[in-house]
Structure 1
Amino acid sequence: MKLWISDLNKQERRTMSACFGGWALDAFDVQIYSFVIPTLVAVWGMTRAEAGYLGTVALVFSAVGGAVAGRLSDRIGRVQVLKLTVAWFALFTFLSGFAQNFEQLLVLRALQGLGFGGEWAAGAVLMSEIIRPQYRGRAAGTVHSGFAVGWGGAALVYALVFSLVPQEYAWRCLFWLGILPAFLIVVIRRYVKESDTFEEKAKRISAHKVSALAIFKPPLLRKTLASSLFAIGMQGGYYAVVTWLPTYLKTERNLSVLGTGSYLAVVIIGAFLGFLLGAHCADALGRKKTLMTFGILSAAMVCLYMFAPLSNSAMLILGFPLGLFANAMFAPTGAFYAELFPTELRGTGQGFAYNLGRGVGAFFPALVGLLSATMPLGMAIGIYTVGAYGIAIIALLFLPETQGVALDSNQNEPLVGDELPVNTPTRTTS
Structure 2
Amino acid sequence: MNLLFARLDRASWNKVHTAITIALGVGWLLDAFEVTIVNNVIGVFRDQWHLSNLQASWVLSIWFVGIMFGAYVFGYLADRFGRKRLFVVTLAMYGTFTFLTAFAWNYPSLMVLRLLTAIGVGAEYAAINAAISEFIPARHRGKTNATVMNFWSLGAILAALVTLFLINRLPPDVGWRAAFGFGALIALCAGLARRYIPESPRWLAAHGNLNEASAVVEQVEQGRFDSRARGNGRPRQAANTPDRATFWMQTRELIERYPWRLALGSLLDFSEAAGYYGLFAFLALFILPAVHVSTHFVPWFYLIGNVGALLGGVTVALLLDRAGRKLTVPIAYALAAAGVLLMAAATQTHDWRWVLAAFTLANLFATGSWISAYPTFSEIFPTHLRSTGIGLSVAVGRLGAFGAPLALTAVATHFGMMPALMLLASFWLIGALAMVPWYFRGVEGKGVPLEAMCR
Q: TM-score, normalization: structure 2?
A: 0.82
Give deviations 1:62-82, integer Å, cap 9, x for gaps: 111011121111111111100
CA contact (8 A) 1:339 1:405 kept: no
The count of corresponding residues between Structure 1 and Structure 2 is: 405
CA contact (8 A) 1:73 1:122 kept: yes
Distance in structure 2 (CA, Å) of the matches to 1:269 and 1:209: 44
1:28-427 superposed matches below 5 A: 28-180=33-185, 181-190=187-196, 192-203=197-208, 204=238, 205=241, 208-209=244-245, 211-243=249-281, 245-246=283-284, 251-306=289-344, 308-310=347-349, 311-369=351-409, 374=414, 382-399=421-438, 400-403=442-445, 404-408=447-451, 423-424=454-455
CA contact (8 A) 1:53 1:366 kept: no
**Match of 1:15?**
20
What displacement does 1:160 show? 1.4
Query: Relative to structure 1, is the Cα distance of residues 385 and 61 closer, same or farther in structure 2, using a 3 angstrom cutoff?
Result: same
Stretch deviating more after TM superposition (55-64 or 116-125)? 55-64
Root mean square deviation of aligned Cα: 2.5
Q: Secondary structure at the match of 1:8?
A: coil
Which amino acid in structure 1 is aligned with residue 324 of structure 2? G
CA contact (8 A) 2:139 2:448 kept: no
Distance in structure 2 (CA, Å) of the matches to 1:244 and 1:176: 29
What displacement does 1:130 show? 0.5
Give deviations 1:224-280, integer Å, cap 9, x for gaps: 123212211111111112345455566443333442122212211111111111111
CA contact (8 A) 1:125 1:334 kept: no
Which amino acid in structure 2 is aligned with residue 197 of structure 1? R
Query: Relative to structure 1, is the Cα distance of residues 175 and 330 closer, same or farther in structure 2, using a 3 angstrom cutoff?
Result: same
What displacement does 1:370 show? 5.2
Query: Relative to structure 1, is the Cα distance of residues 381 and 275 closer, same or farther in structure 2, using a 3 angstrom cutoff?
Result: farther
CA contact (8 A) 1:241 1:381 kept: no
Distance in structure 1 (CA, Å) of the matches to 2:120 and 2:250: 21
Q: Secondary structure at the match of 2:308?
A: helix
What displacement does 1:373 show? 5.2
Structure 2 portions without partners, runs of 5+: 1-10, 209-237
CA contact (8 A) 2:167 2:178 kept: no
CA contact (8 A) 1:35 1:246 kept: no
Give deviations 1:61-110, integer Å, cap 9, x for gaps: 21110111211111111111001111112222222333344333222222
Distance in structure 2 (CA, Å) of the matches to 1:82 and 1:19: 8
**Match of 1:417?**
none
CA contact (8 A) 2:308 2:363 kept: yes
Give deviations 1:376-406, integer Å, cap 9, x for gaps: 6x65862552232122222223432431331
CA contact (8 A) 1:94 1:178 kept: yes
Stretch deviating more after TM superposition (304-313 or 74-83)? 304-313
Q: Secondary structure at the match of 2:330?
A: helix
Query: Relative to structure 1, is the Cα distance of residues 317 and 73 closer, same or farther in structure 2, using a 3 angstrom cutoff?
Result: same
CA contact (8 A) 1:55 1:362 kept: no
Stretch deviating more after TM superposition (66-75 or 329-338)? 329-338
CA contact (8 A) 1:55 1:366 kept: no
Query: Relative to structure 1, is the Cα distance of residues 95 and 380 closer, same or farther in structure 2, using a 3 angstrom cutoff?
Result: farther
Q: TM-score, normalization: structure 1?
A: 0.86
Query: Relative to structure 1, is the Cα distance of residues 246 and 177 closer, same or farther in structure 2, using a 3 angstrom cutoff?
Result: farther
Which amino acid in structure 1 is aligned with residue 454 of structure 2? N
CA contact (8 A) 1:207 1:344 kept: no
What displacement does 1:347 show? 0.8
Which amino acid in structure 2 is aligned with residue 290 of structure 1? T
Which amino acid in structure 2 is aligned with residue 237 of structure 1? G
Query: Relative to structure 1, is the Cα distance of residues 17 and 162 closer, same or farther in structure 2, using a 3 angstrom cutoff?
Result: closer
Q: Secondary structure at the match of 2:198?
A: coil
**Match of 1:419?**
none
Which amino acid in structure 2 is aligned with residue 278 of structure 1? V
Query: Relative to structure 1, is the Cα distance of residues 381 and 215 closer, same or farther in structure 2, using a 3 angstrom cutoff?
Result: farther
